[in-house]
Each structure stands twice: as C-alpha cells, then as structure tokens.
C-alpha cells in the first residue's frame, strides 16, 4: 500500500534563520513521502538567497511579488500542493521527528475528507516548556466551547494551533483561510471548519510540535487590538454558542484591552456584551475580572511561580 503524499506548507517572511530550523525539522521526519512548499509573503531577498542553498528536490518555493498576509500565503501553498494531506508549519515553530508518521497512521484509522488530525504541542517559553492541550474535546462538546471556555486560570486547557495540524487537502480546497485577517486566522478557520457537516478532530496523544512563545520578536499572537478582535468576533458570532461568545470576551478581548491600556473604556462595554449576547459561567466572570486586573506580563509571572509549585 502506497503512503499518501503530505504537503507541508510554510508561510514566511524575513525570518531566514528561523525558517531554516523549521525546514530542517521537516526533512528530519521519519515519514519520507512529503513535499515542502515555502511561500515567501512578499519581497525578501535574504530568505530567497537562503533557500537557494537547499538542494532537496522535495523543497518548493513560491516567492510572492507583494505581501498577501499569512492567511492567503497558506492558501497559495495549498493551491500549489500535490499531497492528499496538508500539514501546516509556522516558520518560527518546529516538529519532532515522528510527527507526520504518527499523524498519518492515525489518519489511516479514522481519517476522511472531514477529519482534522492534531497532536499535542510543546509551548516553549524561555524558562519552561508546557504540554498542551491539557484535555481533549468532550463528547458532543462544540469546538468553539472547547477553545474558548476554560475551567482553569491559565491557557492551554483546550488548544489548537496550525503547526499541530494535518488536514485533508480536499477540506482546505473547500474551506480556505479567510484572506485579509490580521489576527485569529487559525481560530477563524477552526470555527468555520467545525460548522461543516461531519467534521471531526482527532489527536495523537503525544507532543509532536514545538510552539515558541515569549521570545523577543514581533508576532501576530502578541499584536493587541481589542476593537479589531471584537469586529472579528461579531463576524463569526453566528457560528458560536452564547457560552463560547462570552468565553472569548473573558479570555481574549479583555486581555487585549488590558495590554493596550484601554481597560477603562473596554471594561463596561465588554462586560455588558458578555451579559446581553453571551451566556457566561462563573468561571468566565472570574477570568474576565482577572484579565482586567493583570497584564499579560503579570499573568506570565504568576504562571511561572505556580508552575514551580506544581501548578499549570
């Protein structure tokens, strides 16, 4: 039986050193039936020069003349792919060697054109690693609630991230990333994918990807604009439960407003929206208040302190 070809899509711009680490982790995979499609999102001579030093025939490069953003860069890679399955890898992340082999094996057992195959991820901070997610979706639990409604103080309880994923190419062709989104690109895709008939998510029960966090560089994840995130939430609201709507406000929106120093304006508005349009639980209100009081930096310090004491 022939192994399915996996197309690995890596969008990148102005990160040739980090990109090298990502590519090396793909070429070190124990699963050999793969191709790598690097999409350079706009003019980037340094990255193009770096990629010309690679001689592996499995590596393909698509250099775009203008920047189209991370979402459309991934779509460009999907359109260029020949594989039956698509695996995404952010240019500042990396994989453990058995990642694709174990995911393809699980896909052969449960996978079809409606299956998303994930794995656990190592959330790597400068001072400590965390294994996420801490739990998997419960039976009949809406994916939006799994992602947005915590039952604990710290992140990582319910987690999906693009470098964790293996997705049928047919699904990506039916449901591309939303072009133009500056943030929430992957979350937007998860919510829309969950709305498709018969979509299922399956996890390899092992950490097989490394997600680098807390490093001193600009990332979309660390770009705060709570009003833009609010507009995205309103756009995606028809696909969310009221519980998930409240959970996103409690964990994401108020946190962004705190980081921006706009809590005085955001607090009354968002608390009212939670109450009127959402269905917040007691934990959502506690998270809302905690994220209002403590900045992301302070919460990171608390996480480090608690982790040394056996916490999250």
Buried b (16+ CB within 10 A) or exposed e, 261-275: eebeebbeebbebbe
| pLDDT at 124 (0 to 100) | 95
Nearest residue to 44 (alpha-carbon basis) of 26, 62, 71, 25: 62
pLDDT at 302 over 80: no
Inter-helix orientation angle 282-293/263-277, to 10°: 170
Answer for the pair 126, 104: CB distance below 8 angstroms, yes or no: no
Which of 122-131, 137-146, 214-223, 260-269 is predicted with the least confidence, judged by mean pLDDT? 214-223
pLDDT at 26 over 80: yes
Local confidence band at 310 (pLDDT 50, 70, 90 cut-offs): very low
pLDDT at 10 over 50: yes
Q: How far apart are CA 39 and CA 86, in angstroms?
A: 14
| pLDDT at 217 (0 to 100) | 55
Q: What 3-state class would DSSP assign to 61?
A: strand
Per-residue pLDDT of 243-268, as tens digits, reads 999 999 999 999 999 999 999 999 99
Q: How far apart are CA 228 and CA 239, in angstroms?
A: 18
Local confidence band at 79 (pLDDT 50, 70, 90 cut-offs): very high
Residue 239, both tokens = 């696909």
Local confidence band at 214 (pLDDT 50, 70, 90 cut-offs): confident
Q: What proportion of the chain, given as a percentage, has pLDDT over 70?
A: 91
Local confidence band at 312 (pLDDT 50, 70, 90 cut-offs): low
Residue-range domain boundaries for the chain: 6-212, 224-308
Helix, strand, coil in percent for the chain, rounding step 5: 45, 20, 35
pLDDT at 220 over 70: no
Q: How far apart are CA 262 and CA 300, in angstroms?
A: 20
Q: What is the CA radius of gyration of the chain?
A: 19
| pLDDT at 82 (0 to 100) | 97
| pLDDT at 305 (0 to 100) | 59
Local confidence band at 309 (pLDDT 50, 70, 90 cut-offs): very low
Local confidence band at 69 (pLDDT 50, 70, 90 cut-offs): very high
**What is the pTM (predicted TM-score) of this model?**
0.92
6-212 under CATH 3.40.50.2000, yes or no: no
| pLDDT at 300 (0 to 100) | 62
């Amino acid at each position: 039986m022939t192994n399915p070809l996996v197309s690995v899509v890596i969008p990148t711009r102005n990160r040739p050193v980090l990109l090298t680490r990502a590519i090396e982790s793909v070429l070190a995979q124990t699963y050999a039936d793969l191709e790598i499609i690097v999409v350079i999102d706009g003019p980037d001579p340094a990255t193009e020069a770096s990629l010309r030093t690679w001689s592996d025939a499995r590596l393909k490069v698509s250099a775009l003349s203008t920047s189209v953003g991370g979402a459309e860069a991934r779509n460009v890679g999907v359109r260029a792919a020949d594989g039956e399955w698509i695996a995404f890898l952010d240019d500042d992340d990396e994989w453990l060697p058995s990642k694709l082999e174990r995911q393809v094996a699980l896909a052969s057992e449960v996978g079809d054109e409606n299956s998303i195959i994930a794995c656990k991820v190592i959330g790597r901070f400068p001072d400590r690693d965390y294994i996420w997610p801490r739990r998997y979706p419960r039976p009949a639990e809406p994916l939006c609630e799994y992602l947005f409604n915590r039952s604990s103080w710290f992140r990582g309880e319910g987690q999906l991230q693009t470098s964790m994923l293996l997705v049928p190419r047919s699904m990506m062709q039916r449901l591309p990333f939303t072009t133009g989104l500056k943030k929430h690109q992957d979350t937007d895709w998860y919510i829309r994918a969950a709305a498709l008939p018969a979509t299922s998510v399956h996890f390899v029960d092992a950490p097989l990807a490394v997600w680098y966090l807390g490093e001193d560089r600009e990332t979309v994840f660390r770009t705060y604009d709570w009003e833009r995130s609010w507009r995205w939430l309103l756009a995606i609201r028809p696909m969310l439960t009221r519980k998930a709507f409240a959970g996103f406000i409690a964990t994401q929106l108020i946190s962004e407003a705190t980081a921006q120093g706009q809590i005085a304006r955001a607090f009354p508005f968002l608390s009212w929206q939670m109450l009127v349009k959402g269905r917040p639980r007691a934990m959502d209100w506690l998270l809302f208040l905690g994220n209002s009081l403590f900045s992301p930096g302070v919460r990171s310090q608390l996480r480090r302190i608690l982790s040394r004491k056996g916490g999250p």
